[in-house]
A and B are shown apart, each in its own frame.
Chain A
Amino acid sequence: MAKGIWVYVEQRDGKVKKVTYELLSGGRKIADALGEELCAVLPGKGVAGLAAELGEYGADKVFVLESDSLENYTTDGYANAVADLAKQNDPTAILMGCTVTGRDLAAQVAQKLGTGLMTDCTEMALENGQLVFTRPIYAGKAFVKASCPEARPAMATIRPNIIAIEKAAKSAEVVSAAANTGDIRQAVKDIALQISSRPELTEADIIVSGGRGMKGPENFAILEELADVLGAAVGASRAAVDAGWVTHSFQVGQTGKTVSPVVYIACGISGAIQHLAGMSTSKCIVAVNKDPEANIFKVADYGIVGDLFEVVPLLKEEFKKILA
């Protein structure tokens, strides 16, 4: 009989990712409802010290998988170690953050365990004793609610920033387990971290976009600053591209890139139809424009009628406060 809700601890350089705490907070409730243990699975090198911290967020038990070969993340090393531990302990569910690493790891572990995996979930609930996950499909134009009714463990990757973090002072039992990393076939030659890398336009969750109202190339700096606070990509309307302020690769719209982010912030964009056609499926559209008659307000969920040179820097400060 499978037992235990597991959360994979994603860390880099000894720092635990926030999504891990979110999963522990969410997993805690599920574990309580099922009367099972919440376990954190912590692979890495020199990471044992992080175990106590995980207890503070609700873990009953922390499996520490220490190994020199787990120093850097590799698909094989981590998947072998986690799958092996799961085979020995037979958990009910394994949750991971839907990050680049989480996504990579989850598919391999799920197949090694011959089980089902629901990725990119935005909701997790318990219905009739069964873990049920909701995930967007068709770029968020629909949702599917699904479960893994028989195979164990049920696996899911969950988007960051979905579950609120709640502390639950537990002192977790720390279990050192053998890390069976097996044969690691991916040899990492080089890691290049960018200090502030903005995401690609079509991949970004948030886009800050500027139009003719930006008045000149130098003013895009204020959009970039806002984008960096939000981890957003910077886009532009055709008018701004045509004016030569930014290159075509920034262009959002029918003759540029079609985007569908969670948040689209349009600054000084009037809302020509070619532009709207390229971004109107964004989940939440914010418009800042001087002209209350601008077409962009017809599709915007939230609008501010005002001078973007005043409003955008203020927005940056406000976002900084809540994202700190």
Chain B
Amino acid sequence: MKIVVCMKQTFDTEAKIAVDANGKINKQGVSLIMNPYDEFAVEEALKIKEKSSGEVTVVTVAGPEGQDALRQALAMGADKAVLVDPGMDEIDEFTTASILAKAISEMEYDVLLGGFRAIDDGSAQVAGRVAEILGIPVVNVVTKLEIADGKAVATSEIEGGSQTVEVALPAMFTAQKGLNEPRYPSMKGIMQAKKKPMEKKALGDLGLDAGQVAPKVKAISYFLPSARAAGKIIPGEPADAARDLVKALREEAKVV
């Protein structure tokens, strides 16, 4: 079984977000981690490998710093890593998916996995696009996955419940929380990871050029939410206070 996991390195959840002088998100002074949903994907890949033997390859589209996330995946037990550095200032999901798909198309694969979304931009579309480009089916937000006899049975979230879907392989699955509990890399795994292959590629190595994968979506501006106003204590008898609070949440805070 050949398994390929699409992954991404993201800001950690505690990162303080600021906009820099160029109006872009400031990347200084934040910790980078493997996107937590991708950890589920890597874990699932390893589980499939442990059951049916095979090989797990992790791929990412990122600058050189993305190697850290790949190395974590290798230390967890993945066999190979591929990093494609697009070397472009502006990219979007179309760009990333086009590059990932091209890189994957050069590999053998039965199962593709990815986190269902990344915690930074949360756009939840790259994996689906990759599947579409490769011409394979996708099942999103998967919380349970069973692979047998060239088929997969996946349980996935739907509005107000879940559904069970069967697809023939190869297919793409995107991982939702609950799919598994990702392992920590072991000390031995970390040592072994150092000897595992990590390929670094540029667009040209994949036979692509920046024009072919130019973004469709363009960011106009980035901004921060308005500062939190001082808290208000809603006065009055319980009944009045409850009514006023609900009113404030709807009309002032506009959150319900």
List the interface of chain A (C-beta within 8 A of B): 12, 73-76, 99-101, 103-104, 106-108, 110-112, 114-120, 132, 136-151, 185-194, 197, 200, 202-203, 206, 230, 258, 260, 262-263, 283-286, 292, 297-307, 310-311, 314-315, 317-319, 321-323
Contact = CB atoms under 8 A, between A and B. Distances in A.
A8 to B, nearest CB: 14
Nearest to B129: A111
Given A189-B153, A306-B241, 10 more contacts: A101-B158, A137-B222, A139-B122, A151-B216, A283-B255, A302-B245, A311-B241, A314-B239, A318-B243, A319-B246
Contacts of B210: none
Interface of B: 11, 13, 15-17, 19, 25, 92-94, 97, 119-129, 131-133, 137-141, 153, 157-168, 171, 177-178, 215-225, 228-229, 231-234, 238-239, 241-243, 245-246, 248-250, 253, 255-256
Contacts of B11: 138
Nearest to A149: B218
Contacts of A75: 128, 137-140
B169 to A, nearest CB: 10
A310 B250 CA distance: 21
Contacts of B160: 193-194, 197
8 contacts: A74-B165, A101-B159, A111-B133, A141-B16, A143-B224, A146-B218, A197-B161, A283-B225
Contacts, number: 241
Contact of A188 (B125, B164, B215): B164
Nearest to A142: B17
Given A119-B123, A120-B122, A297-B233, A185 B246 contact: no
Contacts of B121: 137-138, 144
A99 to B, nearest CB: 6
Interface centre among B19, B128, B225 (most CB of A within 10 A): B128
A139 B239 CA distance: 34
Contacts of A139: 13, 119, 122
A275 B57 CA distance: 39
Complex A-B, nearest 4 residue pairs according to Cβ-Cβ distance, in ascending order: A116-B216, A107-B128, A107-B125, A314-B242
Contacts of B17: 138, 141-142
Contacts of B248: 302
A38 to B, nearest CB: 23
Contacts of B25: 137-138, 142
A190 B131 CA distance: 23
Contacts of A315: 242, 245-246
Nearest to A137: B121
Given A99-B159, A141-B225, A197-B160, A262 B122 contact: no
A284 B137 contact: no
Contacts of B93: 107, 116-117
Nearest to A232: B256
Given A258-B13, A314-B242, A108 B163 contact: no
Contact of A192 (B140, B161, B224, B228): B161
Contacts of B250: 322
Given A186-B167, A299-B231, A322-B250, A111 B132 contact: yes
Contacts of A120: 122-124
A141 B18 CA distance: 9
Contacts of B97: 111
Interface centre among A107, A132, A203, A304 (most CB of B within 10 A): A107
A72 B34 CA distance: 35
